[in-house]
Structure formats: C-alpha cells, structure tokens
Amino acid sequence: MGEKLNGKIAAVTGAASGIGLATTEALLAEGATVVMVDRDEAALSDLTAKLGGRAIAQVTDLLNADSCNAMVPEILEKVDHIDILYCNAGTYIGGDLDETDPATIDRMLNLNVNAVMKNVHAIIPHMKERKTGDIWVTCSVAGHSAIAWEPVYSGSKWAITCFVQTMRRQLREHGIRVGQVSPGPVISALLADWPEENLRKAKESGSLIEPTEVADAVVFALTRGRNVTIRDMIVLPTNFDI
C-alpha cells in the first residue's frame, strides 16, 4: 500500500460504481480516507463494509436539489475537513437530438453540469478557509471534440471543460488546484446507451479502457507537488480513433 495521500480526506461522487468506485479504491490504497457519495444506499452500505473504516458512506441524490445542497454540510458532519472533491457522477445520452425528450435532456444536464457547479460552489468557502484543496471533475474526450452521435452529452462536457478551466484561474490564488480527467470510452453502464454498431466496433477493435485506468490518472494528478497543477488529462484507448 502506498502512502502518498496518507491523512488526506476525499469526497467522491458516483462512488458506488465505475470510475467513482475505482478511484475510491485507488485513493484508499494511497492512504486517503474517502467519503463515498452516491444515491444507492444499499450499495454504499455493502461497499463501505467491504472497504474498511476509511471508506465512509454519504447518501446523496444529486438530482434532488435539497439533497445536493446538503451534501457538503453532511460530509463535514462525518469528517473534519475535505482535502479533495472529485465530482465524478454523470449520465449519458447518445443518438440524434430528436430521438430523445426534454425530460431526459434536463436530467443529464442537471447531473453532468448543474450538480458539478453546485458541488464546487459548496466546497469553495471550506477550501478557501483552509487555503488548500483539490477539485477534480470527470469530463470526457467528448468535451474536447464534437461527437456527432452524442450532441447533448458532448455539449454538457464542453460546458464542464469551460467551467473547470475558469475555476482553475479563479481559485489558484487560494491554494486550490482544479482539473479534470477526460476519458475516452470506459467499460461501464453508461455505454449501454451507445449506438449498437459503435459499441460493437469499439469492443472488436479494443477501443475501450477500464475504470481503473482513469483512476490511475486521477491519483497521479493528486499526488504531484503543490507547485504543479495538471489541469486536464485526456485518457484514451490506444485504438480509439477520434
């Protein structure tokens, strides 16, 4: 077990599965305490029992305004500070725009964009007071390239790319580092909404990566010296062509 983050306390949203769970496990391996934020209470209960005392459950529904607003205060009732906020929770819409509906669009934008902004807004006073902190966000390669088959998702991730880069500039003078990891296709439940032909081709060509490979990138960024900010990492499968 490494100890690069020994004594640090992280909060990870969407921590019960996928990239969030892989990053939780990687942070624990580096010595951190991790508050696992997710709406799935049963999954959190099982995972924290399995992962040990440095894994702490925080049941939050980021799509519920009251629950989202209460997240940071409730975490700070369980731990005395937060060194790392990793806004990872998100959802996906693929396909042509006229194939979806307004309610689905609202849900995705609320989770992928609004909840991230609100979580960051909530943590800023705490980190400013401590004059240190790390804020990381799961973006996507779709936040750097206009992906024709996912206009809503791509639009949400472009918004997050802009948000992260502006917040990095706002908060750097307060000792707070802000960055994002932008994966290509990751083997997770989100790919269930991919066009079937695109998913088949990606699987056949080896154009997918594991959640652990994204987690490795996040831990790398978090363990750099405080004089270094890695503002964005694009993590692609080698065979992914975009």
Task: Report pLDDT digits (tens) over 27-82.
Answer: 999 999 999 999 999 999 999 999 999 999 999 999 999 999 999 999 999 999 99
**Residue 215 resides in a domain:** yes
Question: Would residue 191 count as lying in a domain?
Answer: no
Number of domains in the chain: 1
pLDDT tens-digit readout, 190-210: 666 666 776 677 767 677 888
204 domain residue, yes or no? no
> How far apart (Å, rounded) are the C-alpha atoms in residues 34 and 11?
6
Model pTM greater than 0.75?
yes
Distances (CA, A) of 103 to 79, 91, 100, 109, 184: 36, 13, 9, 10, 26
CATH number at residue 45: 3.40.50.720
Residue 60 lies in a domain: yes
Is residue 198 one of the residues assigned to a domain?
Answer: no
- List, by residue number, the catalytic residues: 153
What is the percent of the chain with per-residue pLDDT over 90, rounded to a whole number?
79
- Domain membership of residue 201 (yes or no) is no
Note whether residue 29 is domain-resident: yes
In a domain, 50, yes or no: yes
Whether 1 has a pLDDT exceeding 60, the answer reads no
In whole angstroms, give the CA distance from residue 198 to residue 216.
26
Q: Any alpha helices (H) in the chain, and if so which ranges?
A: 18-29, 41-51, 65-78, 102-109, 115-130, 151-171, 196-205, 211-222
Provide the domain limits for residue 72: 9-184+211-235
